[in-house]
Amino acid sequence: MRRRLATLLATGATGVVLLASPALAAPADKPQVLSSWTQTSASSYNSWVAARANQGAWSAYGFDWSTDYCSSSPDNPLGFPFKTSCARHDFGYRNYKAAGTFSTNKARLDDALYADLKRVCAGYSGASKTACDSTA
């Protein structure tokens, strides 16, 4: 009886470790986390920037952090630093495409990019702000 109990406990413990292993499946809240990082708000942007700086903490989620920044558009047109905004846009596009829900989220991702660009422009004034807003 003792051997059977020990065998059952050992088997059960192994099963629990395997089920909890992030390599087997992304956490169930992955869609919520993805959504929280791809909204138009400054807090969403800031949360994504913090997560991007600590990608290892999110490795269980299997996010695609790759980016080509602003693709064929300049990353810093006229000196305006749009590179991080473009990286977040790429993050949203790549991860929603992988999830198979890109078409339902595309408009919001594009709106978030525009909001991010406008936040960059908010740091300027006068003619520079006008030029930045026009570029955004």
Name the amino acid, one letter, at 54: N
Considering only 77-81, 82-86, 110-114, which range has the smallest mean pLDDT? 77-81
Q: Are 38 and 112 in contact (CB under 8 A)?
A: yes
**Listed residue (76, 79, 74, 72) closest to 128, CA to CA:** 79
> Mean pLDDT for the chain?
85
User: Is residue 89 annotated as a catalytic residue, yes or no?
Assistant: yes
- What topology is assigned to 29-135 in CATH? Phospholipase A2 (1.20.90)
pLDDT of residue 79: 83
In tens, the pLDDT along 15-72 reads 333 334 444 578 999 999 999 999 999 999 999 999 999 999 999 999 999 999 987 6
Residue with the two structure tokens 């594009």: 110
Angle at 129 between CA 128 and CA 131, to 5 degrees: 65
The whole-model pTM stands at 0.79
Selected catalytic residue, list 51, 89, 116, 132: 89
Residue with the two structure tokens 């099963």: 15
pLDDT of residue 71: 79
